[in-house]
Amino acid sequence: MELNQYLDMFIEESKEHLQACSDNLLELEKNPEDLGIVNEIFRSAHTLKGMSATMGYEDLADLTHKMENVLDAIRNHKISVNAEVLDIVFESVDHLEEMIMDIADGGDGKRDVKATVAKLKAIELGQPILAQSTVQAIEETVATVVETTFDVPQLQFDDYEKTVLQQSSEQDFNAFEITVVLREDCLLKAARVFMVFDILEKNGDVIKSVPSADQLEEENFDQQFQIAFITKDSMNEIQKKIMKVSEVEHVSVLPLSYEQFTTSTVEETHIETTVNDTFEPVTTPVAVNENHQINDTKQKSNSTSKSHTSSSKTIRVSIERLDILMNLFEELVIDRGRLQSISTEVNHSELNETVERMSRTMGDLQNIVLTMRMVPVDTVFNRFPKMVRSLSRDLNKKINLEIIGAETELDRTVIDEIGDPLVHLIRNSIDHGIESPEERIANGKPEEGTVLLRAFHSGNYVFIEIEDDGAGINKEKVLRKAISKGIVTKESALTLTDKQITELILASGFSTAEVISDISGRGVGLDVVKTTIESLGGSISIESTEGAGSIFSIQLPLTLSIISVMLVEIETETYAIPLSSIIETAIIKKSDILNAHNQKVIDFRGKVVPLIYLDDVFDVPRKQQLDDEYQSVVIVRKGEKLAGLIVDSFIGQQEIVLKSLGNYLSNIFAISGATILGNGKVALIVDCNALMK
């Protein structure tokens, strides 16, 4: 069975199960006696283990199994839920998430989780969790003993081979038992085996190999093989020579004598007993139980999958297929525009009716296609509760995260980009906004701070707000820092409003953190947030009351695929200006245009607004200079900044499909994309943000 075809489904379902584990662990932390929550976590882990084993990701399945054992012990009242236990289970989930992300990026899902596995085993056995150095020492000892005793195939000698070994010993030859382990990513195992044998045969005689030479040549073995070898060289010399072969991970060379291999069974039993007595985590019963659990998982997952199949009314569709569907629909929009143009010219009643009916149908189809691309912001929000829990522990603060409106939907392309900015804003609220419990009590506040994450629709936009009840923004401190960093001058600082001072924290390189840490103080973060949001056609604003808290409000378009624009004309060229940037359009007299600091400006509702001539910006050739007394201007906004775009004439508003200019034209100044109009012509879309730096 070809499993690669199920890889995308495995990754998506694994993410869902891990998210369910995280959400339920947070609930369990609040209600440690609720075994119903434990059962939910156990079911998610159990399903993930079965899926991982089926797909061949044994490391993933093994870690999930160890976590599952702890959960099973909790629900059977063998151990109780406490902060230490939850921390280790959270740590396991973090590792599992990293492994899934590695698989999604094309990796093998392998990760060093020995320390976490040791902690889980200690919890399961009711033992104290060992220090990291002790765990590593135990792991290294166990690995060495297991590697040389159990994990390698055992050499069995016939009478002739025993005689050769005995005679070589009598003639002062050294007899060695060599175990060679190849790297996991070794592609040409047979070639590496040949190179090892070539080295050995030049320095002595190979008596026997396990697997046999034929099996080694056919690569009918895992990653390791064993050789009985006689030579005059020492163990270290042989080991060094073999380690020179590329893609060899480990070489073990042990003395082999006639007396040793005749009593090997007794010694092996003795070693096994010693290991089992000393290191309980590698006992045989665990392996037996693991096999039993895997079989049980397969049976349960089969029955579960049957029940889901019969009741499921949804299917998974990749975003790539939806993109293809959108592109095909855009072609239909172009053809519709052409048909409308033809029907107007022909003026045939039946043709006009058919085109009108087709237009209505395509309008409905457009709504369906756009709706299919919409996903709830919950897909982004659900990562934050665990992050807030971790941050509150690191900062020794008590934080309550409340989420409202997680069902609000956004276009998938916007969802993919908004995650990192929200992470920055929440971390900023917790680190800079929320005070320590002692400060909050001293200020008459509850010791637990609240961060509210809220999403809601308004018109053609989605608003996401991050509100905290912390100390607010200290405007004097912000202003001093901005002046010291050269972001504003002392003279201009005197003219700034409170809102403008507050929004200085969005400037590049700005930070009020006194100490650089993993969380803040490196001068990056909020400026990146602002840049990312504006690149999505959105905006960010800040409201803050000192001592009471702050609200960061993000405004985002519902979709980036279909946008409303104002079509304008410059000479014979058509340009599209997004309505989201436009305040209003106006016709002004040329006599109203003034000059200030070598810049043409107008007085717009009591504000001085600079003018930008788009024909100069885009080098539109003029056949003749316009002598009209009036000029058309589009007033646009970027945050608090205003500008007036001078154009020749307005064509009208229209919904257009945004098209990328491709890699070759990606650096065109002030152009964010293009659209194909109904008449087949291309109109460039103006990037207003780039014009107002």
- Helix 7-30 to helix 35-55 angle (10° resolution) is 160
Say how far apart CA 456 and CA 380 lie, in whole Å: 14
Question: Which H or E element spans position 644?
Answer: strand 641-647
Say how far apart CA 300 and CA 292 lie, in whole Å: 12
For residue 424 the two structure tokens come to 């920055």
Question: What's the 3-state SS for 612-636?
Answer: EEHHHHCCCCCCCCCCCCEEEEEEE
Look-up: residue for tokens 């609930």? 27
| CB-CB contact of 629 with 589 (8 Å) | yes
CA distances to 143, 177, 483 from 140, rounded to whole Å, are 5, 21, 56
Instruction: Name the residue among 437, 433, 475 with its Cα closest to residue 452.
Output: 433
- Edge-to-edge strands, sheet with 562-570: 649-657, 562-570, 573-578, 682-686, 671-676
Instruction: Name the residue among 198, 155, 145, 152 with its Cα closest to residue 176.
Output: 155
Say how far apart CA 545 and CA 361 lie, in whole Å: 51
For residue 247 the two structure tokens come to 């893609």
- Rounded to 5 degrees, φ, ψ at 175 are -110, 125
Catalytic residues: 46, 68, 428
- Helix 235-243 to helix 189-203 angle (10° resolution) is 150
Say how far apart CA 292 and CA 57 lie, in whole Å: 18
Say how far apart CA 240 and CA 220 lie, in whole Å: 26
CA end-to-end span of the chain: 57
| CB-CB contact of 643 with 612 (8 Å) | yes
Other CB atoms closer than 10 Å to residue 563's CB: what's the count? 23
Look-up: residue for tokens 């009108």? 356
